[in-house]
Amino acid sequence: MAFEDLKIRITTIVSQQEKSPDDKMGEICKVLRTSIDYYDWVGFYMANHDARTLHLGPYAGTPTDHTVIPFGKGICGQVAESNANFVVPDVKAQDNYIACSITVKSEIVVPLFKDGKNIGQIDIDSNTVDPFTKEDETFLEWVNEQVATLL
Ligand code: SME
């Protein structure tokens, strides 16, 4: 499904009155995972700035053991500190990487800002090598802006 069509679906999910933010975020994960063939695991990690840890929030895909990630560790932990998108075309080339599944070949992590503060991130794993483009980054930044309105 094209990103423009997905934006319409996500806007609909975000505007649902009767659902909690977590339910909506979980639905967004499911829609992203099932609509884009190279999105194999989609989840949100939320930051605890006092403890300097990330905590797994809603996700779609195989359950992961990595429910708490310290700032600085792995791709996710690095984004918690850098406040910048991190695109990993080939996870084998990364030293500071936390493997969730042996099938994962690439990853993209985009920070989620609320009132200018990096409060979490969307994390996507792919079983394809080098699938992510600038379009994915722009789209996921937009997704995070919508999610920020729920938080
Ligand atoms: N690979 C991530 C850990 C989270 S899992 O992909 C769900 C990382 O290196 O931070």
- Residue 42: CB within 6 Å of ligand 1? no
The preferred substitution site among 76, 86, 92 for testing ligand 1, maximizing ligand atoms within 8 Å of CB, is 76
pTM of the model: 0.96
Helix-strand-coil percent breakdown of the chain, rounded to 5? 35, 25, 35
Nearest CA to ligand 1 atom 7: 100
From residue 48, alpha-carbon distances to 29, 51, 68, 71 in Å are 21, 6, 10, 9
Nearest CA to ligand 1 atom 6: 100
Amino acid at 120: G
Domain tally, the chain: 1
Taking only the tens place, the pLDDT of each residue in 19-75 is 999 999 999 999 999 999 999 999 999 999 999 999 999 999 999 999 999 999 999
Taking only the tens place, the pLDDT of each residue in 60-99 is 999 999 999 999 999 999 999 999 999 999 999 999 999 9
Distance of CA 51 to the CA centre of its chain: 21
* Residue 111 lies in domain: 3-148
Q: What is the DSSP string of 7-52?
A: HHHHHHHHH-SSS-HHHHHHHHHHHHHHHSTT--EEEEEEEETTTT
Query: Which CATH number belongs to the domain containing residue 108 in this structure?
Result: 3.30.450.40
